[in-house]
Amino acid sequence: MSDHSSNQSNENSHQESMLPQWMYWVFAALLIWGGAYLMRYSGGFSGEVYDESTVTYGPVKGGAAAVEDPKVLGARVYKANCAQCHQLTGLGVEGQYPPLAGSEFVLGSEAHVIRILLHGLVGPITVNGKPYNGNMAPWKDVLDDKKISQVLTYIRSDWGNNASAITPEMVAAVRKEEAARSASWTEKELEAAPKVLPK
C-alpha cells in the first residue's frame, strides 16, 4: 500500500513539472509579438514622442483643457526655440539678446510682435532702456501659425508680463498681409507699419 502511494505521487510530480508542448509555442508567439510591439510603439523609450496636444481623454473638468492650454504649449515652444538666446528667465543677455520680460515690443501692439516673429528683427533697438543692435532670423518658415500664437501668448503672460493672448487667426492674418515681404523688420519700419491687426 505504501509502495503504491509513493509511486503515484512520483508520477504526479513528474507530470506537473512538464508543460504541454503547445504552451511553449504560445509563449514563443507572445515573446515575438511583445518584441514587435515594443519596436513599433516604444518610440525608442523617449519622452519626446509624447504629444500632449493629441490627448483627448482625461478628467472631464479641466484635465483635457489644461494640457491644451496655449500657455503650457507655448512654454514648450519657447524652451525649444527661444530660450537659448532670450533665456528661460525672459531676461535675455545684456548687450546681446534683448529681454522679453517687460519689453514694449512684447507687450505692445499685437500686430508688431507677430511681424517680428514672422520676419525677424534687425538693427538698433532699445528694450527696457538698454540698447541692442543684433539680428533675429525670421520664424515664418520654422513655426506655423499655431505655434507662433502659442509662444507669443506665453511670452506675453510669463515673467510678470500681462498682455492678451494671440490666436492662430491673428498670426494668419498678418502672415497674409506681409506675404510679399522677405526682409527682416527694423524698428523704423515697424513704427511706420499699422499697429492694428489686419481684418
Q: What is the DSSP track for 114-148?
A: HHHHHH-EEEEEEETTEEEEEEE---TTTS-HHHH
Q: How far is the CB of 160 from ligand HEC (least distance, A)?
A: 14
Q: What amino acid occupies position 161?
A: N
Residue 125 engages ligand HEC in binding (rule: CB under 6 A): yes
Query: According to CB under 6 A, which residues from 84 to 123 bind ligand HEC?
Result: 84-86, 97-100, 103, 105-106, 113, 116-117, 121-123
**Do 175 and 181 meet the contact criterion of CB atoms below 8 Å apart?**
no
Span from 3-11, 23-31, 127-135, 188-196 in contact with ligand HEC (CB under 6 A): 127-135
Q: What is the dihedral of CA 49, 50, 52, 54, to 10 degrees?
A: 70
CB of 78 to ligand HEC, least distance (A): 6
Hey, which residues between 16 and 75 contact ligand HEC (CB under 6 A)? none
Beta-carbon neighbour count of residue 55 at 10 Å?
Answer: 12
Q: Are 117 and 74 in contact (CB under 8 A)?
A: no
Residue choice 73, 132, 153, 190 for contact with ligand HEC (CB under 6 A): 132
Binding positions for ligand HEC, rule: CB under 6 A? 81-82, 84-86, 97-100, 103, 105-106, 113, 116-117, 121-123, 125, 127, 132-136, 139, 151, 155
